[in-house]
């Protein structure tokens, strides 16, 4: 059996169909509101460049790339229950793109394609959780030196800046995660469309990070001047500054990737060589692998043991001077509590509903309440930091709107020493580094607004 007897698209469809649970998970994450749906843009661009190159696809796939496709697909499929879904989905994307590379002519650039494929995944909420706090620390420290150069008395307290006695928070949107995503998307999309050689793109990737960091520092410095009244202007100037810096960074990325001296590459011409013949056992084995991968999630398997509950946990009896009354967990909370590495309690103080989460180790499952409300279809507005009603520290508050329902939601995390965190990324890194000791109590309050 010769490979050229099979339509070339078969080799691309096989990993796509075999890894269907990963695409279903990605579609749910991109559409349920729990993550920014930027990945849809990257996916559309990837499909566009693939369609553009359709005439150059070979009838005979290259053996090396097919082997890579099978290996990556096996790692993505058989690691179910062992690895988190996001890294498995990344392996699945690489497997599909390896199949696409097997159908392209030799010496075709592939780095931009792989970059677009990874950006098509629901990445932003995870990047914000893990990298948001370190990036804000860098941004805050650099902003200190920038503002001092303008003659201001500035001190840094964690990710907060004290400007001439006025405290300004470098919040999650100031981390630059979204700016980084857009910058790398512009770079990969431009490189893929221009067929930029991998070695040229590889040289430019480190400079992209420098551009994003510089742009984020500039934006943060201007916004601090605006918040402290040093830069006068109407309220909408805040959004204008953010958009202007975004546009500037994108223009600089375009110039870097497609600037003078970088011309669009023509497709590598087809080469006359003896067509490869894929042995029948190899083809049968590869087909069997993809069939097993497609059926693997449907096979019965032992259910993971539920997380052991925290025994003898004494929940607070009062909050902000009001007595707490226990409430039953909702159906959604019960499903989440089954795998949560800690304990979850739900209470009412007569005015608000409180959700308390008790954890003994740093975990990604202690995620922000805004992600939950977005996943339930709420629109998040008016995000702000406020002083807590009781104790020291700040809490993050926002308004969640769905139809006629408006809810005021506030949340913070408190460690065993009484130190509180208004940001989950800051808590995670402090707990991981040993600067904050557990157990920790995450408090979320929900109050209906008129």
Q: Considering only 55-69, 181-195, 263-277, 435-449, which range has the smallest mean pLDDT? A: 263-277
Share of the chain above pLDDT 70, in %: 87
pTM for the model stands at 0.81
Tokens of 218: 């500039």
The end-to-end CA distance of the chain, in Å, is: 71
| Chain segment 39-89, per-residue pLDDT in tens | 899 999 999 999 888 877 777 788 888 889 999 999 999 988 788 889 999
The answer on pLDDT for 374 being more than 90 is no
Please report, for residues 48, 98, 111, 124, the alpha-carbon distance to residue 19 in angstroms, rounded to integers and kept in the order given.
22, 14, 22, 22
Whole-number Å distance between alpha carbons of 96 and 150: 51
Contact 277, 2 (CB under 8 A): yes
Give the C-alpha distances (Å, rounded to integers) separating 85 from 75, 91, 113.
12, 10, 21
Among the residue ranges 150-154, 320-324, 444-448, the one predicted with the least confidence is: 150-154
Query: Is residue 347 a contact partner of residue 325, using CB atoms and an 8 Å limit?
Result: yes
Helix 177-194 and helix 198-227, axial crossing angle in degrees, nearest 10:
150
Can you say whether the dihedral through the CA atoms of 182, 32, 79, 284 is positive or negative?
A: negative
Residue-wise burial string across 103-127, b where 16 or more C-beta atoms lie within 10 A, e elsewhere: bbeeebbebbbbbbbbbbbbbbbbb
CA–CA gap between residue 432 and residue 5 (Å, rounded): 55
Distances (CA, A) of 269 to 7, 55, 218, 378: 21, 12, 45, 52
Angle of the 111-119 helix axis to the 85-102 helix axis, nearest 10: 150
Mean pLDDT of 212-240: 80
pLDDT, tens digit, 9 for 90 and up, residues 97-112 = 999 998 888 888 899 9
Whether the per-residue pLDDT at 272 is higher than 50: the answer is: no
- The domain locations on the chain are 3-129+173-298, 318-448
Least confident of 46-60, 126-140, 218-232, 400-414: 218-232
- Per-residue pLDDT at 268 exceeds 60: no
């Amino acid at each position: 059996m010769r490979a050229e007897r099979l339509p070339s698209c078969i080799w691309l469809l096989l990993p796509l169909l075999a890894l269907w649970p990963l695409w279903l998970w990605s579609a749910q994450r991109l559409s349920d509101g729990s993550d920014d749906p930027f990945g849809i843009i990257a996916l559309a661009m990837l499909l566009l460049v693939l369609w553009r190159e359709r005439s150059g696809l070979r009838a005979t796939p290259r053996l090396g790339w097919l082997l890579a496709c099978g290996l990556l697909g096996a790692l993505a499929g058989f690691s179910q229950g062992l690895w988190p879904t996001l890294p498995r989905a990344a392996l699945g994307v690489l497997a599909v793109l390896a199949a696409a590379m097997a159908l392209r002519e030799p010496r075709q650039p592939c780095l931009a394609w792989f970059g677009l494929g990874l950006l098509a995944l629901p990445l932003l909420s995870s990047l914000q959780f893990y990298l948001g706090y370190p990036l804000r620390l860098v941004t805050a420290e650099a902003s200190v030196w920038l503002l001092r150069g303008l003659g201001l008395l500035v001190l840094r307290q964690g990710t907060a800046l004290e400007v001439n006695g006025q405290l300004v928070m470098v919040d999650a949107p100031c981390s630059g995660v979204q700016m980084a995503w857009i910058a790398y998307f512009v770079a990969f999309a431009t490189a893929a469309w221009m067929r930029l050689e991998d070695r040229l793109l590889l040289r430019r990737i480190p400079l992209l990070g420098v551009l994003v960091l510089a742009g984020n520092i500039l934006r943060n410095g201007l916004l601090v001047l605006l918040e402290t009244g040093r830069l006068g202007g109407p309220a909408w100037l805040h959004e204008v500054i953010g958009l202007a810096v975004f546009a500037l960074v994108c223009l600089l990325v375009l110039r870097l990737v497609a600037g003078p001296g970088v011309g669009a590459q023509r497709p590598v011409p087809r080469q006359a060589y003896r067509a490869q013949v894929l042995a029948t056992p190899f083809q049968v084995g590869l087909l069997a692998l993809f069939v097993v991968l497609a059926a693997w999630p449907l096979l019965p398997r032992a259910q993971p043991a539920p997380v052991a509950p925290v025994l003898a946990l004494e929940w607070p009896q009062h909050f902000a001077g009001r007595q707490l009354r226990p409430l039953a967990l909702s159906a959604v909370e019960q499903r989440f509590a089954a795998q949560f590495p800690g304990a979850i309690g739900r209470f009412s103080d007569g005015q608000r509903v409180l959700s308390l989460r008790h954890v003994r180790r740093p975990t990604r499952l202690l995620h922000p309440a805004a992600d939950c409300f977005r996943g339930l279809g709420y629109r998040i507005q008016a995000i702000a930091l406020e002083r807590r009603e009781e104790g020291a520290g700040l809490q993050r508050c926002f308004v969640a709107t769905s139809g006629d329902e408006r809810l005021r939601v506030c949340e913070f995390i408190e460690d065993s020493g009484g130190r509180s965190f208004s940001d989950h990324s800051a808590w995670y890194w402090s707990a991981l580094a040993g600067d904050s000791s557990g157990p920790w109590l995450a408090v979320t309050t929900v109050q209906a607004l008129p």
